[in-house]
């Protein structure tokens, strides 16, 4: 144990490697949570410090707030914050026990009449939020918020009464998608990758893959981005690439793309690392602090994706 009370970490990766440069960026800019998460993923760090750092964002209602998802500021619990917390717990294999029971009670308390989650609960009103996130009194159910949470709970074999109607909502929403946008498709993939009915999930994913290609929702030629539309409401240049949909080779979305298309996508991702060692955020930047907090998160995900596909990161 070092004088700081932290467990000693292994030697840092080779200087000038993508991982070394990213590590310097994380120590320079990241919140404690992302520092601990980086150490867990890439420096043999333990899971307990990640969980302890995440606890700072947990509220008495079992949900998470306090700008865990940087585009929503303020202390109140929100479905998007809580979904992000579950993804972190999943990454450190801690989706179990009383913590998840409390989360499911929170999800039940904020669900819409059809049992799903709104993207934004109206309790956000009065606190700063990204201007592209509408806050309404009676928000509709959103696959964007519900799909990733339902898929993650199924993957971890969590069973709770909330899941039954929420799962039904996800199936109906995914199988009825005709026009969509990249973030909604990513949420659908997060559900389908872990949905219990595998034949049904594979059939739904196959249909979504055709939709993505037909509507140009994945930029297949990163060197010719002008050929691909940007979805309405997105920031200029906010394209999505094959690796955004298939974050690991095991994802059902991997079958949507040829080996060459995926290779070009990963080359583009690797090439996006900036001089300071971090990856950029592509969505609309509306406040300096938000961009500062989000970039370490994006950097960790980029490194995890590259590593999942066997790319050398250092």
DSSP 13-39: PPTTSHHHHHHHHHHHH--HHHHHHHH
Count CA within 13 A, CB hemisphere, residue 261.
17
10 — pLDDT class (breaks 50, 70, 90): low
pLDDT value of residue 271:
98
pLDDT in tens, 110-123: 999 999 999 999 99
The percent of residues in the chain predicted with pLDDT above 90, rounded, is 95
pLDDT in tens, 155-180: 999 999 999 999 999 999 999 999 99
Got the DSSP string for 62-97?
A: S-B-TTSSTTB-SSS--HHHHHHHHHHHHHTT---H
Mean pLDDT for 263-272 is 98
Name every residue whose Cβ is closer than 8 Å to that of residue 215 and which is 6 or more positions away in sequence: 179, 180
16 — pLDDT class (breaks 50, 70, 90): confident
Distances, alpha carbon 291 to alpha carbons 69, 112, 298, in Å = 11, 31, 10
Mean pLDDT for 300-310 is 98
pLDDT in tens, 195-229: 999 999 999 999 999 999 999 999 999 999 999 99
pLDDT in tens, 31-72: 999 999 999 999 999 999 999 999 999 999 999 999 999 999
Name every residue whose Cβ is closer than 8 Å to that of residue 26 and which is 6 or more positions away in sequence: 34, 35, 38, 278, 296, 299, 300
How many CB atoms lie under 10 A from the CB of residue 180? 19
Q: Give 72's strand partners.
A: 129
pLDDT in tens, 91-109: 999 999 999 999 999 999 9
pLDDT surpasses 90 at 240: yes
9 — pLDDT class (breaks 50, 70, 90): low
pLDDT value of residue 13:
64
Sign of CA dihedral 199, 205, 208, 209: negative
Mean pLDDT for 272-281 is 98
Supply the pTM of this predicted model: 0.93
């Amino acid at each position: 144990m070092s004088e700081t009370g932290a467990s000693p970490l292994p030697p840092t990766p080779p200087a000038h490697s993508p991982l070394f440069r990213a590590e310097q960026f994380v120590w320079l800019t990241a919140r404690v949570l992302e520092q601990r998460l980086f150490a867990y993923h890439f420096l043999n760090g333990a899971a307990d410090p990640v969980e302890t750092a995440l606890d700072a964002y947990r509220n008495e209602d079992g949900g998470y707030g306090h700008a865990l998802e940087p585009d929503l500021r303020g202390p109140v619990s929100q479905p998007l914050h809580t979904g992000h917390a579950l993804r972190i717990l999943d990454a450190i294999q801690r989706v179990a026990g009383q913590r998840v029971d409390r989360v499911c009670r929170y999800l039940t308390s904020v669900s819409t009449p059809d049992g799903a989650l709104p993207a934004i609960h109206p309790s956000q009103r009065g606190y700063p939020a990204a201007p592209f996130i509408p806050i309404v009194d009676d928000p509709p159910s959103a696959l964007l918020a519900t799909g990733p949470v339902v898929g993650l709970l199924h993957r971890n074999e969590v069973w709770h009464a909330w899941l039954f109607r929420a799962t039904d909502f996800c199936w109906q929403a995914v199988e009825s998608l005709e026009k969509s946008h990249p973030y909604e498709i990513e949420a659908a993939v997060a559900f389908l990758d872990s949905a219990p009915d595998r034949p049904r999930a594979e059939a739904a994913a196959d249909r979504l893959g055709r939709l993505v290609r037909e509507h140009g929702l994945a930029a297949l030629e990163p060197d010719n981005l002008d050929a691909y539309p940007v979805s309405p409401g997105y920031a200029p240049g906010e394209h999505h690439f094959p690796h955004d949909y298939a974050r690991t080779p095991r994802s059902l979305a991997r079958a949507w793309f040829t080996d060459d298309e995926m290779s070009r996508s990963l080359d583009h991702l690797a090439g996006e690392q900036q001089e300071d060692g971090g990856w950029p955020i592509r969505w609309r930047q509306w406040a300096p602090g938000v961009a500062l907090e989000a970039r370490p998160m994006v950097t960790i995900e980029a490194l995890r994706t590259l590593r999942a596909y066997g790319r050398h990161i250092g």
